[in-house]
Amino acid sequence: MATVHTPSMEPATVRRAFDVERVRRDFPILEVRHGGRPIVYLDNAATTQKPRHVIETIQRYYTRENANIHRGVHYLSQVATDHYERAREQIARFLGATVGCEIVFTRGATEGINLIAQTYGRKFIGPGDEILISHMEHHSNIVPWQMLCEEKGSKLRVVPITDDGELDMDAFGRLLNARTKIVSIGHVSNALGTVNPVRAIIDAAHAAGAIAVVDGAQSAPHMPVNIHAMGCDFFVCSGHKMYGPTGIGVLYGKVEHLEKMPPYQGGGDMVLSVTFEKTTFNILPHKYEAGTPHIEGVIGLGATVDYLNDIGMDAIAEYEQNLTRHGTQLLEEIPGLRLIGTARDKAGILSFTLDGVHPHDIGQLLDEDGVAIRVGHHCAQPVMQRFGVPATARASLAFYNTKEELDTLAAGIRRVQKVFA
Amino acid sequence: MSGSRALYEQVILDHNKNPRNFKVIEDADRKIEGFNPLCGDHFTVFLKLDGTTISDIGIQGAGCAIAKSSASIMSSILKGKSVDEAKELFDRFHAMVTSAPDAPLDEAALGKLAVFSGVREYPIRIKCATLAWHALLAALQGENQQVSTE
Ligand SMILES: Cc1ncc(COP(=O)(O)O)c(C=O)c1O
């Protein structure tokens, strides 16, 4: 292994220059060949690949450290508990949370948003209140709020987007009002790549007396995130989209909210004492983690942020920006290709349509070249409606992708056009 | 793996580019829309019946090359067929696309429909290939609304 990871490594003082060939060696799956060709994996917005350090950490957990946590007096249970809680601290620091108890583990971004809607939402939202989202949200940042509005007689309002796929900030200003109780916005759109001005949105929400929720599923893997500097009330993300295990996600909540909210689920670990007359809930963050958690997932995610810190999120963001520029240029040169999502501030997501070729057929033919992309509505059907397309083809990048891989993508698209000419 | 070239037979590409019977039949006896909510593909099938014979068929809608060419080929072989023959063809077609990739093909019985045998390698595309057929079947059974593949 080319990279040396010391588990407690903090953002290094001296960092090597970003070297894509070196990081590619950290991802065993990139060696897989299909039909005699390497796989060009450009479906990173759906899920990302896992570095060896994460895979080995999980393997070590099961081979040397496995036990249930928070309840054993024995050696293995203490080791597992230590590693689990240390991972919480590492993840808190990685995301810029102030204290570890602000970090609650969930199954993913989806469960995080549902948790907020079902606890904070059910307690503090009432008839006539408004929840403000945007037209570019993933279904997971739409449906939980719709369900809450239905139950409470509150109203879901939607910030429109421009033809470039940017938030219409003037409209946002008009829609925000004294009845707005929650503003919930995606940091980066998974369908368009747009990076939203979350800081300005959060400040405006607070000025209007609302709380701000940020869906960071597509930002945490690709740029430095500092929740404290951002100032949001809640932040969610998914481990599997940030090079970590599936089935684990992070919910950040401000202590003042987490203290006041009711628990999400009842069970073991979330209680201090139980009698049939009265149950006392556990302290933060355990109050929100009922039952045996995804221990392997948490420890694996701890290893993931270690790995990312070692490379540096700044370096990752800068490299991906260069890659995105290269990819955008290549796609823009293809006649008959329409990029969907051309915001000024964009992450590595290239959504497009081709004249006369349905996205499913694009995806199918690219697969033959070993190029993995996603086709469909990307769980963002309102975005498809906004741009008047049934679906798009989407190439989504990660820091282990190369310019050469994007050249392969572009050549593949031109071949698709020939087949359908 | 044989690759998608086996999926995109020339006949399929041709029907995709020049779909047959893509027209509205204003005085259709039956009209029904097939919809695949997963990808948004939708085709409306218009039928003119002369007793139990399909005297004319029209298709409208949009979808991927597999869905579109399947609708087109379906329309071109069903004109003049009886309702029972059409149902039988549906069964044969459906059994073929859902069979194992290496199962023997009865090309004589399938006729033109055999070009869709490549779909068997890609289970996710079965719904594309059968979308218009499902609409047709519902229309033949006298329904007059939307059918969904879900
Ligand atoms: C912007 C955004 N939010 C939320 C989610 C949901 O993530 P998960 O399915 O991991 O819960 C996704 C996943 O595609 C996403 O892209």
What is the spatial distance between Cα A174 and Cα A178, in angstroms, rounded to a whole number? 11
Same domain, A119 and A210: yes
A294: domain range? 62-310
CA–CA dist B104, B123 (Å, integer)? 17
CATH number at residue A262: 3.40.640.10
The count of CB pairs under 8 A between chains A and B is 46
Q: Within 6 Å (CB) of ligand 1, which residues are found?
A: A 45, 108-110, 138, 140-141, 186, 190, 215, 217-218, 238, 379
**Mean pLDDT computed over every residue of chain A:** 95
Number of domains present in the structure of chain B: 1
pLDDT confidence band for A3 (50 / 70 / 90): very low
Only one residue has tokens 């006949």, namely B11
Lowest-confidence segment of A130-139, B30-39, B118-127 by average pLDDT:
B30-39
pLDDT given at position A71: 79
Q: Are A298 and A402 in a shared domain?
A: no
What pLDDT shows up at residue B14? 95
The residue of A139, A364, A371, A373 whose CB has the most chain B CBs within 10 angstroms, and thus the best one to mutate to test that interface, is: A364
Q: Which of A33-37, A218-222, A403-407 shows the lowest per-residue confidence on average (mean pLDDT)? A: A33-37
Residue that terminates a domain, selected from A310, A340, A361? A310
Is-contact A104 A251, C-beta < 8 A? yes
Tens of pLDDT, residues B66-116: 999 999 999 999 999 999 999 999 999 999 999 999 999 999 999 999 999
Q: What's the number of domains chain A is made of? A: 2
Instruction: Please name the residues in contact with B100: beta carbons below 8 A apart, sequence gap of 6 or more.
Output: B120
Is A379 a residue of the active site?
Answer: yes
Question: What percent of chain A clears pLDDT 70, i.e. is strictly above it?
Answer: 96
Same domain, A91 and A223: yes
Q: What is the pLDDT of residues A167-192, one digit of tens each?
A: 999 999 999 999 999 999 999 999 99
> Do A361 and A268 share a structural domain?
no
The A337-340 sheet, strands edge to edge: A337-340, A349-354, A392-396, A374-376
Query: How far A241 CA lies from chain B's nearest CA (Å)?
Result: 22
pLDDT tens digits for range A144-163: 999 999 999 999 999 999 99
pLDDT exceeds 70 at position B3: no
Examine residue A157 and state whether it is found in any structural domain, yes or no: yes
What share of residues in chain A are helix, strand, coil (percent, to 5)?
Answer: 45, 20, 40
The answer to whether position B30 is within a domain reads yes
Q: How many DSSP H helices and E strands does chain A contain?
A: 15, 17
pLDDT tier, B144 (very low <50, low <70, confident <90, very high otherwise): low
Contacts of B66 in chain A (CB under 8 A): 360-361
Q: Which residue reads 């900030």 in tokens?
A: A169
What's the CA gap between A36 and A411, in Å, rounded? 18
Residues A295 and A394 in one domain: no
Kindly report the CATH number assigned to the domain that includes residue B42: 3.90.1010.10
Give yes or no: residues A374 and A245 share one domain.
Answer: no
**3-class state of residue B141 by DSSP:** coil
Give CA–CA dist A26/A41, Å, rounded.
15
Q: Which domain holds residue B134?
A: 3-141
DSSP state of A62: I
Asked if A391's CB is within 8 angstroms of B7's CB, the reply is no
Same structural domain for residues A212 and A349? no
Which residues of chain B neighbour A391 with C-beta distances below 8 Å? 39-40
Residue A407 in contact with partner chain B when CB distance is under 8 A: no
> Could you give the CA distance from residue A67 to residue A90 in angstroms, rounded to a whole number?
21
- Is the pLDDT at A275 greater than 70? The verdict is yes
Interface predicted TM-score of the whole assembly (ipTM), two decimals? 0.87
3-class DSSP state of B73: helix
What sections of chain B are H helices per DSSP?
10-17, 65-78, 83-97, 107-110, 126-140
Residue B139 three-state SS: helix
Instruction: Provide φ and ψ at A41, rounded to 5°.
Output: -90, 105
Same domain flag for A265 and A403 = no
Does B150 fall in a domain? no
Domain assignment present for A365? yes
Residues A303 and A392 in one domain: no
On whether residue A286 sits in a domain, the answer given is: yes
Classify residue B149: in a domain, yes or no: no
Higher local confidence (pLDDT), A99 or A150: A150
% of chain B surpassing 70 pLDDT: 91
Please state, in angstroms and rounded to a whole number, the distance separating the CA atoms of residues B9 and A199: 52
Question: Is residue B50, in this structure, part of any structural domain at all?
Answer: yes
Q: Which residues of B touch A (CB under 8 A)?
A: 1, 3-5, 7-8, 13, 16-17, 38-41, 62-66, 68, 122, 125, 128
Q: Are B61 and B46 in contact (CB under 8 A)?
A: no
Radius of gyration, CA atoms only, chain A: 22
Q: Does residue A39 sit in the same domain as residue A69?
A: no
**Mean pLDDT, residues A387-399:** 96
Closest CA to B74 of B27, B106, B103, B116: B116
Of all helices (H) and strands (E), which one includes residue A38?
strand A37-38
Q: Annotated catalytic residue: which of A149, A232, A237, A379?
A: A379
Tokens of A8: 């407690």
A1 has a pLDDT exceeding 70? no
Residues facing residue A188 across a β-bridge = A195
pLDDT, mean of residues A125-139: 98
Nearest 10 degrees: Cα torsion A101, A106, A111, A117: -20
DSSP SS3 for A243: coil
The secondary structure of A180-210 as a DSSP string is EEEEEEESB-TTT-BBP-HHHHHHHHHHTT-
Rounded CA-CA distance A157/A144 in Å is 14
d(CA B79, CA B112): 14
Interchain pair B4, A359: CB under 8 A:
no
Q: What pLDDT is recorded for position B2?
A: 47
| Residue A283 neighbours by CB under 8 Å, 6+ apart | A101, A272
Beta strands in A282-400 (DSSP E): 337-340, 349-354, 371-372, 374-376, 392-396
pTM higher than the cut 0.80: yes
Shared-domain flag, residues A286 and A347 = no
Report the pLDDT value the prediction gives residue A6, as an integer from 0 to 100.
Answer: 46
Cβ atoms of A198 and A214 within 8 Å: the answer is yes
CA terminus-to-terminus distance, chain A: 46
